[in-house]
Amino acid sequence: MFGGRVDHAAARHRQDRRHLAPLLATGAHTVHCHIGLSPELTEALLDDDLDLAVVTKIEGAPTGRLYLRHLCDEEFVLIGRPGEAPYRHARDARPFIGYSRAIPMARRYFRSCWDTLPPEPALTIADMRVAVATVRAGAGLGVVPRYLAQAGLDAGGLAILHTPERPVGNAICLAARRGREQLPRIQAVLAQL
């Protein structure tokens, strides 16, 4: 079984589905996808409820118990509607939209840019694509992966409201419980990705 954040697994890695198609076409393997946050997926890996998961950096994760293979890096952008004023951290009270109450992407962005925590989200939506659409509709600001905002940025429906000195983002990894990465069914998937 395979786990990953819906926005990442479905939107970011469309090419992974194409890579898995030959494996699935043989009829020898099945893939069952689950959606969750990295800590939940890691726990499922360690409990042998999942074989593989797409995860991001997890603070305090038992990395010694995990096999991790880097897939890609995602960059975060702070977005709002076109024409909005640039985001000025110290004096800006505009509401934020997030994936969860913990708003981990905004938390990483704010720590990297201002060494502080972000404001509490005014609205949480457990689908980043909907969060981006909500920002585009004018409900607030958001810190999201660039790949989810790029179409809106290109079309002029979204704007980047802050540019950090250095890009802020996450490493995305394919994870398995250490030792299980040698199992034939896991090797078959790893060979395709």
Q: What is d(CA 118, CA 129) in angstroms, rounded to the nearest whole number?
A: 20
Q: Which CATH class is domain 2-73+171-192?
A: alpha beta
Query: What is the rounded average pLDDT for all residues in the chain?
Result: 85
Residue 128 CA, chain-centre distance (Å), reads 8
Q: Which residue has the higher pLDDT, 149 or 19?
A: 149
Contact 54, 8 (CB under 8 A): yes
Q: Which CATH class is domain 75-169?
A: alpha beta
Q: What is d(CA 137, CA 139) in angstroms, rounded to the nearest whole number?
A: 6
What pLDDT, on the 0 to 100 scale, is given for residue 184? Answer: 87
Percent above pLDDT 90 for the chain = 48
Judged by average pLDDT, the poorest of 23-32, 84-93, 134-143, 159-168 is 23-32
What stretch of H or E contains 26? Answer: none
Q: What is d(CA 38, CA 143) in angstroms, rounded to the nearest whole number?
A: 18
For the chain, give every residue range classified as CATH 3.40.190.10: 2-73+171-192, 75-169
Phi, psi for residue 147 in degrees, rounded to 5: -60, -25
pLDDT surpassing 70 at residue 119? yes
Give the angle subtended at the CA of 164 by the CAs of 162 and 169, to the nearest 5°: 105
pLDDT band at 59 (very low <50, low <70, confident <90, very high): low
pLDDT surpassing 60 at residue 97? yes
The tokens describing 69, both together, are: 């293979």
